[in-house]
Structure formats: C-alpha cells, structure tokens
Amino acid sequence: MLKPHRHHPLWFAFIVHRLSGVCLALFLPAHFYVLGLALNNGESLDRFLHWTEHPLLRWVEFGLVFCLAVHMFGGVRLLALEFMPWSPKQKTFAALAAALSLLVACLFLLRAT
C-alpha cells in the first residue's frame, strides 16, 4: 500500500515534524484564550489555573513540550540538510532529534510533578 520510500526512517521524521507543527498550531488558540483571561479576568484565570492542576493535564503538557521539542529539533535537522553536505548519518541525526525531544519532555514532566 505505502510507496517504498515511505518506509524510510527520514520519511517518518518528516511526518513527525509535520504532525508536531499541526499540534502546535492547534494549541495556539487555547494559549491565546488563556492569555486573554490573564489580561482581562483574573478570577477566571485563577479557576483555569486550578483546573490545570489535574494530573491528566501533566501528560497533556508533556505531549505539548514533546511536540515543541520534536518540532524544534526536526527543524534544526532540516536546516542542517539545507546547509550541510549530505551524509549517510542523516538517520542518526533524525534519531538523535527524537531522543533529545523525548528527553526534554521527560525532564519537563519530572519537574512538573
């Protein structure tokens, strides 16, 4: 069903980079809404911040930080592809970007709990 090039690890790096960008874009309206609460209605912001202490939201924050980290490291990998000569180590760079993203998100989760 899938084309042969879509089994390559860098294809998955491409997909993860795009999906993380979509998740971050979907998060932005919620972020702007909360910023609006902070500017306009302190009581509503306090209720929202109390709601965010729910343990499930720690995992949502973990996912958000992971998306941010994977998108950032994936973007750095793409910049390296553009400005550095091609090498067979590109799969290693993609794996390193994923590992660093997971590390950043896990450190955030540990600090948040």
Does a structural domain hold residue 54?
A: yes
- Give the pLDDT confidence score for residue 5 in this predicted structure: 67
The structure's pTM equals 0.68
Neighbours of 91 (CB within 10 A): 12
Its domain, for residue 90, covers 14-112
> How far apart are alpha carbons 58 and 1 in whole angstroms?
37
* Mean pLDDT of all residues in 70-90: 79
Does a structural domain hold residue 1?
A: no
Does a structural domain hold residue 5?
A: no
The count of structural domains within the chain is 1
Does a structural domain hold residue 3?
A: no
> How far apart are alpha carbons 92 and 80 in whole angstroms?
13
Cβ-contact 74, 13 below 8 angstroms: yes
Residue 30 confidence (pLDDT) above 80: yes
Cα distances (angstroms) measured from residue 12 to each of 74, 81, 84:
11, 16, 21
CATH label of the domain that carries residue 38: 1.20.1300.10
Confidence band for 74, pLDDT divided at 50, 70 and 90? confident
> How far apart are alpha carbons 96 and 101 in whole angstroms?
8
Does a structural domain hold residue 6?
A: no
> How far apart are alpha carbons 113 and 6 in whole angstroms?
38
Does a structural domain hold residue 44?
A: yes
Confidence band for 23, pLDDT divided at 50, 70 and 90? very high
Cβ-contact 100, 73 below 8 angstroms: yes
